[in-house]
Structure 1
Amino acid sequence: MRWSVRYSRLTAKADEDFIAIFVESIDRFGVRQAEHYARAITDCFALLASQPRMARERPEFTPPIRAHFHGSHVVAYVETDDGILILRIFHAKQDWPSLM
């Protein structure tokens, strides 16, 4: 059996989104909970990288993306040869399709 490592990478916008989520989480819930949620989101990235087709494809976008709901957020990403590229991370209550 051959094993391959799959990676998740973030665009600059997704990195900004992640930082904003972390900072807002600190303000609203405290450092401990913010760190817990940040770990949960990064675990989600690893899961998506290992199983990139687990989220539904959204063909209405060009190129088609996949959107995975995690907690209060939506992770928008595309599959790459070696994993996934995370395009954005939105709050689930946002009109995220219009922001893509």
Structure 2
Amino acid sequence: MVKNDPCYKFAEKAERDLEDIISYTLQQWGATQAHAYIDGLEAQDQLLADNPDLGVKRESLSKGLLSFPYESHILYYVKQPHGITIVRVLHQNMDPMKHI
């Protein structure tokens, strides 16, 4: 039997969030910083896929939603049978009530 490692995937809005983060970081700090930030974010995503209960429950925003910080952003995600789905990646200053 083959073991399925936990994985993460991005909802459509989270993919757009990532595109915006990459674009902004490239413009402000350049390619090296953009790559470093995304590499760190991907490592954080895998950490959460492996340990989905690390996040804080955010039931007031949406049923089953959890959040976890990464540098200046907050990852909002839901557990799945074999990992997590990241629904949004919002800057820490953004109001999640308006964007979730």
Give the TM-score taking structure 2 as reference length: 0.93
Equivalent pairs counted in the alignment come to: 99
List per-residue Cα deviations over 1:23-75 (Å, max 9, x = no partner).
Answer: 10000111100100010001110000000000111121331300101100000
Contact kept? 2:64, 2:79, Cα under 8 Å: no
Let me know the Cα RMSD of the aligned residues.
1.4
For residue 97 of structure 1, report the CA deviation from its aligned partner.
2.9
In the superposition, the TM-score normalised over structure 1's length comes to 0.93
2:52 maps to 1:52? yes
Question: Structure 1 counterpart of 2:31, which letter?
Answer: V
Q: Provide the residue aligned with 1:65 in structure 2.
A: 65
8 Å Cα contact 2:55/2:66 also seen in 1 = yes
2-structure distance, mates of 1:24, 1:62: 28
- Whole-Å separation in 2 of the counterparts to 1:54 and 1:36: 23
Residue type at the aligned position of 2:66: R
Output the CA distance in 2 between the equivalents of 1:76 and 1:64. Answer: 10
Alignment gaps of 5+ in structure 1: none
CA distance in 1: counterparts of 2:37 and 2:25, whole angstroms: 8
Q: Which runs of 4+ in 1 moved over 4 A?
A: none
**Whole-Å Cα distance in 1 between the matches of residues 26 and 96 of structure 2?**
23
| 2:97 equivalent in structure 1 | 97
Tell me how far apart the structure 2 counterparts of residues 16 and 6 of structure 1 sit (CA, whole Å): 23
Structure 2 contact 76–88 (Cα < 8 Å) conserved: yes
Identity between Structure 1 and Structure 2 (%): 23
